[in-house]
């Protein structure tokens, strides 16, 4: 492989406001020739970043990453929210490395699988049994299959205000990117609205005895209305529907026990991933023994081929998960995420008000997992202004597709970031007044969920 792909070939860090992406640009054609879309995750694709400013990363440490051209960024993407402690977090890396030195995959279960399972169940209080896999899509699809087998029903009710549940057909068929998925599959998944209990009640009433499960995230940017989660739980119990909470994002951010622990409402099944391994590939399906055992050997019912993955219990990933849980037990990780996220949100809002952008640029969600808005003068979402925001933050050494903090950020770092953001919002203000095309270089970013390129 050419030396341009190694971290040892860093260029001298570029001057502020004038980063070079020459080396990344030189590799773009090769990426797209070898990988459909040029990335293995659509949210990391070129079309999600400003044109000619889509860097290829060579390493990360704590809350910083470095790209192929030597540009250094304070990073707020957190590996799509998977890196809650920080990149290359030493205790996690050490735990994984130790297990790797002893082999990572065997023909029978490793003792570590039991130890990690017991620790996970004790830590999260998410159920009686757990099964590990490698990614959130696998465990969430497994939860749906388990609910269908348990209830003998086919329909799935998902919260249509939540953007992503799985790469599998039962969900992707409901999006604009449904090519290759038969209508018969698409029609088995129905939608209801968040914080609208009547919409779920109407869905269940329209399909009596046919809905296997209700699947939702506990919270996104909008908090649950008083009584909403409890109402969903009560409806599911009344109608014999399995309640599934997708905690892939909220787990290990809202609370040590996930958003279900934060709000005190327990589902029948729940799925965890992302921050569970601090970037290592590990996910979990947990729930009540009565359901989970359908994927086991000790029941008289038809067998459910629940989760059976060659790499689902790789020891280094499980060791990473155990190390993550140990850090969370010993240190105030969630409290730190909330504190720094609130500092970031408060500072952003103050700058936005000073620039007269209080309705355009806002931080939304829980402080531990923030996103931001980029609206035009009429208050409508603007892809061009989002691209401008990304462009100007990247020019100032911030990689900020969202506002996700990790445990390695500090108050001092956030303070410096807020100074940079104040400058960015000054450009945003001028773009509103004079036209965004005057300041934006290249084409706006695009939605992942679109029918055509």
In a domain, 277, yes or no: yes
Q: Domains in the chain: how many in total?
A: 2
Per the structure, the complete domain to which residue 59 belongs is given by 3-75+333-438
Per-residue pLDDT of the chain in tens (453 residues, 90 and over written 9): 333 343 333 333 333 578 999 999 999 999 999 999 999 989 999 999 999 999 999 999 999 999 999 999 999 988 999 999 999 999 999 999 999 999 999 999 999 999 999 999 999 999 999 999 999 999 999 999 999 999 999 999 999 999 999 999 999 999 999 999 999 999 999 999 999 999 999 999 999 999 999 999 999 999 999 999 999 999 999 999 999 999 999 999 999 999 999 999 999 999 999 999 999 999 999 999 999 999 999 999 999 999 999 999 999 999 999 999 999 999 999 999 999 999 999 999 999 999 999 999 999 999 999 999 999 999 999 999 999 999 999 999 999 999 999 999 999 999 999 999 999 999 999 999 999 999 999 999 999 988 999
Please tell me the distance from the alpha carbon of residue 453 to that of residue 446, in angstroms, as a whole number.
Answer: 9
Query: Is there a single domain that holds both residue 159 and residue 275?
Result: yes
Query: Is there a single domain that holds both residue 67 and residue 108?
Result: no
In a domain, 200, yes or no: yes
Written as six digits, the tokens of 397 are: 């050494």
Q: Give me the helix-helix angle, 333-354 and 411-434, nearest 10°.
A: 30
> What pLDDT is recorded for position 5?
40
> What pLDDT is recorded for position 78?
87
> What pLDDT is recorded for position 18?
82
DSSP β-ladder status, 57-61 and 155-159: unpaired
Query: Is there a single domain that holds both residue 167 and residue 258?
Result: yes
Query: Is there a single domain that holds both residue 198 and residue 313?
Result: yes
Decide which of 277, 303, 330 is a domain's last residue.
330
Three-state SS at 205: helix
In a domain, 84, yes or no: no
Instruction: Report residue 398: phi and psi, to 5°.
Output: -120, 125
The runs of H, that is alpha helices, within 314-410 are: 315-330, 333-354, 383-395
Query: Is there a single domain that holds both residue 13 and residue 158?
Result: no
User: Which residues does residue 398 pair with via DSSP β-bridges, in sequence order?
Assistant: 74
Nearest Cα residue to 158 out of 102, 109, 217: 217
Decide which of 291, 306, 330 is a domain's last residue.
330
Query: Is there a single domain that holds both residue 272 and residue 416?
Result: no
Please tell me the distance from the alpha carbon of residue 85 to that of residue 304, in angstroms, as a whole number.
Answer: 36
Question: If 0-12 CB within 10 Å is exposed, 13-18 middle and 19+ buried, where does residue 42 land?
Answer: middle
pTM across the whole model: 0.94
In a domain, 173, yes or no: yes
Query: Is there a single domain that holds both residue 39 and residue 69?
Result: yes
Report the 10 Å Cβ neighbour count for 193. Answer: 13
Query: Is there a single domain that holds both residue 11 and residue 126?
Result: no
Q: Please report, for the domain that includes residue 283, its CATH number.
A: 3.40.640.10
CB burial of 303-314 (b: ≥16 within 10 Å; e: otherwise) equals ebebbeeeebbb
In a domain, 83, yes or no: no
Rounded-to-10 torsion of CA 406, 407, 413, 419: 40
> What pLDDT is recorded for position 14?
35
Query: Is there a single domain that holds both residue 324 and residue 357?
Result: no
In a domain, 85, yes or no: no
Query: Is there a single domain that holds both residue 340 and residue 418?
Result: yes
Three-state SS at 246: strand
Q: Please report, for the domain that includes residue 391, its CATH number.
A: 3.90.1150.10
Written as six digits, the tokens of 453 are: 């390129």
Decide which of 283, 300, 330 is a domain's last residue.
330
In a domain, 282, yes or no: yes
In a domain, 452, yes or no: no
Please tell me the distance from the alpha carbon of residue 379 to that of residue 382, in angstroms, as a whole number.
Answer: 9
Query: Is there a single domain that holds both residue 375 and residue 324?
Result: no
Find the angle CA(18)-CA(22)-CA(28) to the nearest 5 degrees: 130
Please tell me the distance from the alpha carbon of residue 82 to that of residue 79, in angstroms, as a whole number.
Answer: 5
Query: Is there a single domain that holds both residue 100 and residue 227?
Result: yes
Please tell me the distance from the alpha carbon of residue 172 to that of residue 195, in angstroms, as a whole number.
Answer: 23
> What pLDDT is recorded for position 16?
54
């Amino acid at each position: 492989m050419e030396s341009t792909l190694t971290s040892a070939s860093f260029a001298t860090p570029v001057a502020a406001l004038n980063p070079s992406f020459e080396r990344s640009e030189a590799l773009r054609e090769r990426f797209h020739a070898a990988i459909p879309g040029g990335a293995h995750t659509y949210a990391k694709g070129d079309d999600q970043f400003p044109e000619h400013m889509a860097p290829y990363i060579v390493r990360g440490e704590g809350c910083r990453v470095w790209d192929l051209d030597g540009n250094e960024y304070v990073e707020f993407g957190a590996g799509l929210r998977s890196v809650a402690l920080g990149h290359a977090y030493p205790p996690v890396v050490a735990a994984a490395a130790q297990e790797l030195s002893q082999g990572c995959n065997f023909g029978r279960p490793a003792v570590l699988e039991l130890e990690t399972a017991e620790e996970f169940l004790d830590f999260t209080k998410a159920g009686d049994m757990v099964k590990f896999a490698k990614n959130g899509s696998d465990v969430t699809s497994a939860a749906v299959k388990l609910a269908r087998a348990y209830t003998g029903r086919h329909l799935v009710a998902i919260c249509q205000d939540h953007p992503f549940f799985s790469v599998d057909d039962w969900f992707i068929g409901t999006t604009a990117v449904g090519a290759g998925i038969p209508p018969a599959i698409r029609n088995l998944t129905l939608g209801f609205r968040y914080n609208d209990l009547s919409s779920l009640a109407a869905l269940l009433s329209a399909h009596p005895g046919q809905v296997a499960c209700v699947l939702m995230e506990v919270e996104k940017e909008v908090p649950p209305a008083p009584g909403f989660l409890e109402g969903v739980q009560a409806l599911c119990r009344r109608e014999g529907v399995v309640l599934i909470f997708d905690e892939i994002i909220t787990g290990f951010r809202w609370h040590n026990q996930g958003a279900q622990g934060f709000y005190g409402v327990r589902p029948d099944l729940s799925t965890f991933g992302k921050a569970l391994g601090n970037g290592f590939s590990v996910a979990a399906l947990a729930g009540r023994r009565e359901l989970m055992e359908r994927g086991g050997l000790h029941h008289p019912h038809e067998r459910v081929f629940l989760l059976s993955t060659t790499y689902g219990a790789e020891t280094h990933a499980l060791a990473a998960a155990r190390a993550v849980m140990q850090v969370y037990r010993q240190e105030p990780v969630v409290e730190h995420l909330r504190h720094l996220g609130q500092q970031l949100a408060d500072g952003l809002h103050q700058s936005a008000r000073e620039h007269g952008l209080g309705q355009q640029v806002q931080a939304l969600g829980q402080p531990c997992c923030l996103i931001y808005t980029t609206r035009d003068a009429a208050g409508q979402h603007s892809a061009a202004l989002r691209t401008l925001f990304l462009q100007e933050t990247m020019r100032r050494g911030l990689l900020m597709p969202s506002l996700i903090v990790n445990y390695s950020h500090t108050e001092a770092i956030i303070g410096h970031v807020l100074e940079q953001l104040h400058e960015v919002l000054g450009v945003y203000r001028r773009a509103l007044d004079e036209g965004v095309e005057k300041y934006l270089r290249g084409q706006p970013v695009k939605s992942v969920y679109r029918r055509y390129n």
